[in-house]
Amino acid sequence: FGNNDHGIAGRARKYRVTLDPRMDSTSPTGEASVHDDAMKESALNATVYPPASFVNNAHVSSLKQYNDMYRESVDRPAKFWGKIADELYWHTPYDKSKPVHSFNFDVRKGPISISWFPGGKTNLCYNAVDRHAASDPKGTALLWEGNETNQDEVVTWAQLKERVCQLANYLRSVGVGKGDNVTIYLPMVPHLVISMLACARIGAVHSVVFAGFSADALASRLVDSKPKVVLTSTGTMRGAKPIPIKKVVDAGIKLSKDKGVHVERVVVYDHPALPLAQCNWDESIDANWSDVVDTQPKDSPVEWMDSEDPLFRLYTSGSTGTPKGVLHTTGGYMVGTYATFKYVFDHKPDDVFWCTADAGWITGHSYLAYGPLIAKAKCVVFEGVPTYPDAGRCWDIVDKYGVTVFYTAPTLIRSLIRFGDDVVNSRDLSTLRLLGSVGEPINPEAWKWYHEVVGKRKCPIVDTWWQTETGAHMITPLPGAFAQKPGSASRPFFGVVPTLVDSQTGKELPPGPGEGVLCIKGAWPSMMRTVAGNHQRFEETYFSTYPGFYFTGDGARRDEDGYFWITGRVDDVINVSGHRIGTAEVESALVEHDKCAEAAVVGYEHDIKGQAIYAFVVMKEGVEFTAEMKKELVMTVRSIVGAFAAPDTIHWCPTGLPKTRSGKIMRRILRKIAAHEEDGIGDTSTLADPAVVNTILEWRGN
Ligand code: ATP
Ligand code: MG
């Protein structure tokens, strides 16, 4: 197992698309080759070429150009990153007589350390706002769309700057300055982006907590970061459901107080969903945003930050354990998010960019806020949910604003597939030119739907693999440079050197096809610098397992073209009778059955096989789950992956799978259910819907 006759790569071959005539004379490896060979090669790998119209205008428009740039980024990083850094403003240029970066990745040689752009001084807010407010004050910065279809607002660059400055002035007036922590617990209103930028402007370190987290989850983050100020709102609407935001903050602050952490000030935006008068109010700590912020002067000086000054901390989503406070710094993060935004989304001045991620996740930090704003993109910010008032809301928004680049997560794609193609086909999506995916492996079936039904076969798809820790895209297609393969994140971004390591020996696999643990060699600009307040955990988590490498925690396969296929988290690999099976592969096979909407697979102990496969499935709307259906699902896996991967148990989940707030399946809970260890399920408070667990338990043995 492990060669491409099995698994996602194998299955993806079933998906053929017409090759673009302009490109089919080059093989995916770039070497000029005989036309017939290229055809054979392409067919084998189910490659999907970007249309010529896209390629002709792309920043990187051939594999050769990508290869040349990639080589330079790795061999001459100072030259490569220098050119990109020079597209941005530095108050004090970094010292080009020194190496552009220095790092130690080897725990045996001393503490892990990373630094970029030595001696430079800059400011993210200045680059993301002031430059554009000066050059194009009336131009559109944010296109805000509220929960209701009639709620919207355009924020120009000049307005964005004024609002950021007002908050910066307020924060300074209450004693917040460089290096101080600020927690942001806001729904997706312009205030959220403004809050992040205001912190960056004055050098305060923001910690955005997704405003769907419980008081407990918020409290643990408050206790860890000890902010002086919390920025929040009275409430929000999530679809038809009112959410009392401030109530959660009040409870979180109370809990953190019990642990000795005193928040001095809570600034509350009076959200129309819940009038301020209906909130508990404590004059000694609470302040009304419109009283204290909107009355401030509309200009405010910029704090010039060293390249390695902290910018923000952000807690990982907690799929695998207690969340880690990932710390990012100024210069490298700025250059990394800008470079990836420009090249991966092939940014053009006329683009309308929509990233559906909440700013509470790294995706929202890097590609809702910083990356696009630095690049002066027009950005959609959406407060509501994709299924309200109906399942066509996303497509209505694309239509309304003329969205050209749409970036979302496989979980959203799969959930929308359930509602059928008509919902999409009834909307005008003609402005779309590029689609993106992030957060989980995207199974080829969902990729195909995204490509055909949403993208009408004319939009390349960038399947971007990266992490909170990496700050920016790491392995991803460049949309105009080379072909995509459904289910593969493809090739490394500039400056990123991924490698596969044998988990038994800790040694790198030789170049060429293979499967192993995904590690990264050498530092890239936007990588995390430490776990806030716990450098030891940083070293233990990412650098101790395979000394000399950054350990990602994910497994991957590399195919004969050098494309990477993320197989899931290393902890999730199941070993059945000596066959190592990636959970993602069995899940992809299950959802290829046209009645299966979603699947999650875990292993459990088995006397004979070592481990056996336990599959949790969600069926499409209105599909009945019968014994016959179970058989069909097992057959589907047998025929696609192989008999050895056939699930021993199939468990129907009528109300869905347990997912984190960011939409990721919480496999640790499913493992407990599969092992009949219900008592060990543990904390379910960070689940989007904890009730799902009870339904799953009720349906055991269905
Ligand atoms: P925690 O680290 O607390 O367990 P998390 O890993 O879910 O949480 P994130 O940093 O948000 O937190 O997610 C990064 C992970 O998401 C990656 O390590 C990988 O497992 C998965 N992932 C992200 N994008 C992709 C992708 N395009 N393809 C496959 N997997 C992806
Ligand atoms: Mg992680």
Question: 3-state secondary structure string, 623-637?
Answer: CCCCHHHHHHHHHHH
Q: How does DSSP classify residue 165?
A: H
Pocket test for ligand 1, best of 209, 414, 435, 466 (most atoms within 8 A of CB): 466
Antiparallel, parallel or unpaired: β 113-116 and 101-104 = antiparallel
DSSP, res 143: E
Collapsing DSSP to helix, strand or coil, 152 comes out as strand
Ligand 1 pocket test target in 209, 327, 440 with most atoms within 8 Å of CB: 440
Report the alpha-carbon angle 328-331-333, nearest 5. 45
Q: What is the dihedral of CA 83, 87, 93, 98, to 10 degrees?
A: -20
Question: What ligand has the least distance to the C-alpha of 468?
Answer: 1
Q: Whose CA is nearest to atom 27 of ligand 1?
A: 465
Q: Alpha-carbon distance 371 to 335, whole Å?
A: 9
Say how many Å lie between the CA of residue 204 and the centre of ligand 1. 27
Cα separation, 668 vs 585, whole angstroms: 18
Q: Which atom of ligand 1 is nearest to the CA of 664?
A: 7
Angle (CA) 393-402-23 rounded to 5° is: 110
Atom of ligand 1 nearest to the CA of 463: 27
The answer to whether the CB of 684 falls within 8 A of the CB of 690 is: yes
What is the SS3 string spanning 37-82? HHHHHHHHHCCECCCHHHHHHCCCCCHHHHHHHHHHHHHCHHHHHH
Q: Which residues contact 134 (CB under 8 A, 6 or more apart)?
A: none
Residue from 209, 317, 563 to probe ligand 1 pocket by mutation (most atoms less than 8 Å from CB):
317
Structure tokens at 686: 């960070």
> Which ligand is nearest to the Cα of residue 442, counting in written order?
1
* Of 362, 462, 470, the residue nearest 405 (C-alpha): 462
CA atoms of 85 and 40, how far apart (whole Å): 41
State residue 38's pLDDT score.
39
Task: State the distance from the centre of ligand 2 to the C-alpha of 666, rounded, in angstroms.
Answer: 12
Q: How far is the CA of 114 from the centre of ligand 1 (A)?
A: 22
Q: Which ligand sits nearest to residue 469's alpha carbon? A: 1
Ligand 1, atom 3, lies closest to the CA of 318
β-bridge mates for residue 452, sequence order: none
The DSSP H or E segment spanning 234 is none
Query: What is the torsion angle, in degrees rounded to the nearest 10, for the CA atoms of residue 658, residue 664, residue 667 and residue 672?
Result: -30
Ligand 1 closest atom vs CA 316: 3
The residue contributing the CA closest to ligand 1 atom 13 is 467
Looking at residue 312, its amino acid is F
- pLDDT confidence of residue 396: 98
Ligand 1 atom nearest to CA at 361: 11
* Active site amino acids: 571
Nearest CA to ligand 1 atom 1: 318
| Helix (H) or strand (E) segment spanning residue 255 | helix 245-258
Beta pairing, strands 564-569 & 550-558: antiparallel
Which atom of ligand 1 has the smallest separation from the CA of 464?
Answer: 27
- The two tokens of residue 698 are 């009720």
Structure tokens that stand for 584 in this block: 């993602």
Nearest CA to ligand 1 atom 23: 439
**Which residues pair with residue 406 across a beta bridge?**
354, 435
Residues forming a β-bridge with 434:
405
Rounded to whole angstroms, the Cα distance separating 597 from 613 reads 19
The conformation of residue 20, written as its DSSP 8-state character, comes to P
DSSP annotation of 679 = G
Ligand 2 centroid distance, CA of 139 (Å):
37
Give phi and psi for 508, each to the nearest 5.
Answer: -65, 145
**120-144 confidence digits (pLDDT tens):** 999 999 999 999 999 999 999 999 9
- The atom number, within ligand 1, closest to the CA of 662 reads 11
Give the residues surrounding ligand 1 with Cβ less than 6 Å away: 316-320, 323, 361-362, 438-441, 463-465, 467-468, 489, 552-554, 566, 569, 664
Pick the residue whose CA is nearest to atom 18 on ligand 1: 467
What is the number of the ligand closest to the CA of 362? 1
Q: What is the mean pLDDT of each run of 10 residues along the chain (702 residues)?
A: 34 38 36 36 66 97 98 98 98 98 96 98 98 98 98 98 98 98 98 98 97 88 96 97 96 96 97 97 97 98 98 82 88 98 98 96 97 98 96 98 97 89 97 96 93 97 97 98 97 98 94 96 98 95 95 96 92 80 86 93 88 94 92 92 89 92 86 91 81 91 72
Q: How many CB atoms lie within 10 A of CB 575?
A: 12
Token digits of residue 471: 């700050």
- Per-residue confidence (pLDDT) for residue 320, from 0 to 100: 61
Q: By the 8 A CB rule, do 98 and 291 touch? A: no
* Residue 556 alpha carbon to ligand 2 centre in Å: 15
Q: What is the DSSP letter of 285?
A: T
